[in-house]
Structure 1
Amino acid sequence: MAPTPREQPDGTARALLEGATTELAPKPHANPLVPLVADGRADRRALAALAQEQCRVIPADRRSFLHLAGRSGDAGLAACAAFFGTLAEGEGVALDRLGPLLTACEVSAERAAAYDPMAGCQAYPAYVAWLALNAEPADAVLALTANFAAWGGYCGTIAGALRTHYGFSEEACGFFDFFAEPAPDVDRAGLAALQEGIDRQCLTPPTALRQGRLLQDYEEMFWGTLAGLA
């Protein structure tokens, strides 16, 4: 039997997401670090800092997504809860892949534990935590999914460059490969969550876009801070 419109998101959610992704696309030259990595010109200390900052970002985002999943469930937003639960699972996978990256960057466990994170890099997860506490779950879905496209593209470029210019192994590139790979399950879950927000009238696109712009600004701050080490 064919799925009903509520079981399979219709074009409304897809059009909304595509429009938001276009509107929130990074400005040209917004990321000063990735082109340096792509050409093999970035200093390895910038790569080490990137890996160590992610050691703080990934666990923080995972906890934020779990909190959003819980809030969504409490509000009866099953699709939103499933989406954030899926994101939290992905962050767990990414965390497991950080070890080989740190090793390739010659960062020991002791050095990683003693690392002092930079405010410009931690502003993004701090704002994700703010969303977890304050945003309407459906708004947070749109703000986050519109931002993911740029992040995935950056990771794909970095993964290729680490192999080509820096001699990193397949395992060492696994962290970036994970985020660069297509994620159809996440895409479907995101569309279902957006459609749920539309149906339940708890999604406010202007608010979600405002939140998405802040996420994009904080991501630009992340890359700009690291570029200062390159």
Structure 2
Amino acid sequence: MSDRDAAGLVARARREVEAGAGGNRFLDLLEAGDLPRERLVWMAVEEYRIVRSDQRSFALLAARYPDPPSGDLFLELAQGEGRALNLLDGFAAALGESEKNLNARDPLPFAQAYPAHLAQRAAFGTATEVALAMLVNLEEWGGYCARTAHALRGRYGFPEEAVAFFSFFAEPPPGFGERALAVVAAGLDAGDDPVEAVRCARLTHAYETAFWEALAAGL
């Protein structure tokens, strides 16, 4: 299957994801300066768990699919999560919290649906599924992170080191789109199911939406 076929599958997945897209009440409140500070602590609690889980999920995918282009892509993503985990300490410090204190808190179940889904796909899914899900959803996630960093600086007075975690994710790694597309094309050539791949992208988006909704619940 050609790169053109892979690009067509990406376009199809994006259309299906966009059809189910909605607003983000958490970020609306954050940008208005109306989000209780405790909800930022909630966010830090969830992100520590999510990033550690995603790092292991991408490492598992790199082990399951070590050959290029998949192995290179998933190893890069795992390493990126490791860098992000270190940057998250700055956000916690600005909240007056430590990673140890945050890890002692119970997570919100629906906020952890996304990493649970990724871990399941890392163990049982295909490289095509995960690469397509990341490719289709990463731009929206990056936009949310950019909005978060901007609001934290402008509305809450956070310094740059405190929002570096969000700034890190605001833009995809250089060349990520091309490398992810190559993984999708290779997987389709190998016989991966395009229907399952699109379903994974759609579910990934739904679970990310659940993360933001969980953080804003009751506000």
Q: How does 1:120-199 map to 2 (within 5 A)?
A: 120-199=110-189
Aligned residues of 2:138 and 2:172 also touching (Cα < 8 A):
no
Aligned residues of 1:124 and 1:222 also touching (Cα < 8 A):
yes
Q: Check if 1:39 corresponds to 2:29.
A: no
**TM-score, reference length from structure 2:** 0.92
Partner residue, 1:105 = 95
Partner residue, 1:220 = 209
Alpha-carbon distance in 2 for matches of 1:48, 1:208: 34
Partner residue, 2:8 = 15
Partner residue, 2:22 = 28
Alpha-carbon distance in 2 for matches of 1:213, 1:16: 12
Alpha-carbon distance in 2 for matches of 1:229, 1:103: 26
Structure 1 residue 124: Cα displacement: 0.9
Total equivalences in the alignment: 218
Aligned residues of 2:134 and 2:201 also touching (Cα < 8 A):
yes
Alpha-carbon distance in 1 for matches of 2:149, 2:158: 9
Structure 1 residue 229: Cα displacement: 6.1
Alpha-carbon distance in 2 for matches of 1:224, 1:193: 31
Change (3 A) 1:192 1:225: same
Aligned with 2:162: secondary structure? coil
Aligned with 1:173: secondary structure? helix
Aligned residues of 1:69 and 1:82 also touching (Cα < 8 A):
yes
Q: Deviations over 1:142-181 (max 9, x none)?
A: 1232121211111011110001000000111100001102
Aligned residues of 2:87 and 2:165 also touching (Cα < 8 A):
yes
Point out where structure 1 has 5 or more consecutive residues left out of the alignment.
1-5
Alpha-carbon distance in 2 for matches of 1:185, 1:222: 27
Point out where structure 2 has 5 or more consecutive residues left out of the alignment.
none
Alpha-carbon distance in 2 for matches of 1:82, 1:117: 32
Aligned residues of 2:69 and 2:182 also touching (Cα < 8 A):
yes
Higher helix proportion:
2
Alpha-carbon distance in 2 for matches of 1:53, 1:127: 15
Alpha-carbon distance in 2 for matches of 1:13, 1:210: 15
Alpha-carbon distance in 2 for matches of 1:35, 1:56: 24
Change (3 A) 1:110 1:142: closer
**TM-score, reference length from structure 1:** 0.88
Change (3 A) 1:24 1:55: same
Aligned residues of 2:10 and 2:132 also touching (Cα < 8 A):
yes
Structure 1 residue 217: Cα displacement: 1.5
Aligned residues of 1:45 and 1:229 also touching (Cα < 8 A):
no
Partner residue, 1:210 = 199
Change (3 A) 1:119 1:168: same
Structure 1 residue 125: Cα displacement: 0.5
Alpha-carbon distance in 1 for matches of 2:99, 2:212: 24
Alpha-carbon distance in 1 for matches of 2:98, 2:56: 25
Q: Which 4+ stretches in 1 moved above 4 angstroms?
A: none
